Amino acid sequence: MDTTLNDQFHIDNKGHVENGVTKFTIGEFTFDTFHEYRDAQEDIKKISAIHKELDVHDPEVAVRIYTLIRDGKIHFKSPVGQQFTDHISDILADQNVDLLEDKAVVDEAEKKGKPSHVLGIALIALAAVAFSYFGVSEIEDRLTAKKYSKLAEDTQSTAVATLPGDTGEDTGEGSLNYSISATSPFAWAPTINRDNLMILPEYEALVQKNPDTVGWLTVPGTDINYPVVQKSEDNDYYLNHSFEGEDDSNGALFVDYRCDIVNEHSNTIIYGHNMNSGLMFGNLDAYLDQEYYNTHKKVTFNTIYEHRTYEIVAVCLSRVEYQDDNSYRYYNFIQAENQAEWDAFVNNVSRLSIFSKKIDLTETDKVLTLSTCNSYTEDGRLFVVAKRIE
């Protein structure tokens, strides 16, 4: 193992005891069994050999390494190996971002009549080679992930820079302070005019990029950390369009057009694709594991006007029903008009819940439902139900 890897991974050869159970650690990774620990050691040896012989930061070398991993000629068995694979993927994604940015510069120069044609062709050719090795869909997914990561960083940095009290300015959030209404929970009415509300500073740039922006969803412990949009009278557009409005099979996270994010209905539904790459709601199925569910209950869905926190109360499996089927359709529950409709929703959530059947919801709660596809059955759906607590 080279010096760099020695510095990165401190290996615990004897293991250590936690709550009476022997565990093994390698750097930031902890393994429950000696077998898993040995797999990680073998992966480190492979990574060390690669570092010793090759410059992984050379884009051509990175392409070759990734191709060997993808084709199974280099095989990793542990999270350590997966971390290295992700690192190689990031190198390739960064390189292709640079290529695409350089091409944009070339295109602009050509419009102005500058002699950049040869350079443009060279950049396009180099990008084509990288795409052919890496796989078009894979590189696009990596680029999409990095794009959203950058968007999240920019949004978070703006939020930190403009914390309430830092500038003495009114954020406009005070008019939406959360409280349980004293009126009937079934008497919904649009009492707040959003035109009178101020957009939170961290979301101003997002709204300028896309006026359909209604908020930001974060599910801690997953990669779900995305802007959320809503298209008037349209639940189809963002199934195949990105946040920027470009054609994209990943789609975007979007709120059901029937929901009002300011004057909350009984239930606000956010949809997203369950992508194999992990994009959008591709990590939501982590909640099918009860231990994970028990330790990851909090969700934040900030609208562009206020911050909101929710607590997950149920994880459910269902399916899209045929029109002539009388089965309960959770995705059609937006507002309870009476106690019977609310009870029907809670009872069906309980019936479809894969864990506890006792659902901690009352009619005064405001519900957030995260909905995605799941292959447990034909037209299967996974939906996570949470109630607002802040």
Q: Please write the tens of the pLDDT for every residue from 226-285.
A: 999 999 999 999 999 999 999 999 999 999 999 999 999 999 999 999 998 899 999 999
Strands across the sheet containing 21-26: 16-18, 21-26, 29-31
Residue 150 burial (C-beta neighbours within 10 Å; 0-12, 13-18, 19+) = exposed
Q: What is the mean pLDDT of residues 291-307?
A: 96
Angle at 251 between CA 281 and CA 385, to 5 degrees: 35
Provide the 3-class DSSP secondary structure of residue 103: helix
* E-assigned strand segments in 219-366: 225-229, 253-255, 267-271, 298-303, 309-319
H-helix or E-strand spanning residue 269 = strand 267-271
Residue type, 169: E
Q: Number of helices (H) and strands (E), helices first, in the chain?
A: 9, 11
- Parallel, antiparallel, or unpaired for β 367-373 and 267-271? parallel
Residue 168 burial (10 A CB sphere; 0-12, 13-18, 19+): exposed
Of 296, 293, 298, 295, which Cα lies nearest the Cα of 310? 298
- Domains of the chain as residue ranges with CATH: 3-134 (no CATH), 172-388 (2.40.260.10)
Model pLDDT for residues 30-64, shown as the tens digit of each residue? 888 888 888 888 888 888 788 777 888 877 778 77
Phi and psi, residue 341, nearest 5°: -70, -40
Q: Note the pLDDT of residue 103.
A: 45
pLDDT at 170 over 50: no
Backbone angles phi, psi at 216, to 5 degrees: -140, 130
Instruction: Report the C-alpha gap between 321 and 344 in whole angstroms.
Output: 17
pLDDT of the residue at 302: 97
Band of residue 105 on the pLDDT scale cut at 50, 70, 90 = very low
Residue 169 clears pLDDT 50, i.e. is over it: no
Sequence-distant (6+) residues with CB within 8 A of 265 are 188, 258, 259, 334, 335
3-class state of residue 158 by DSSP:
helix
In this prediction, residues 149-158 reach a mean pLDDT of: 87
Burial of 268 (0-12, 13-18, 19+ CB in 10 A): buried
pLDDT at 199: 96
Residues making up the chain, counted from first to last: 390
CB 305 within 8 A of CB 200: yes
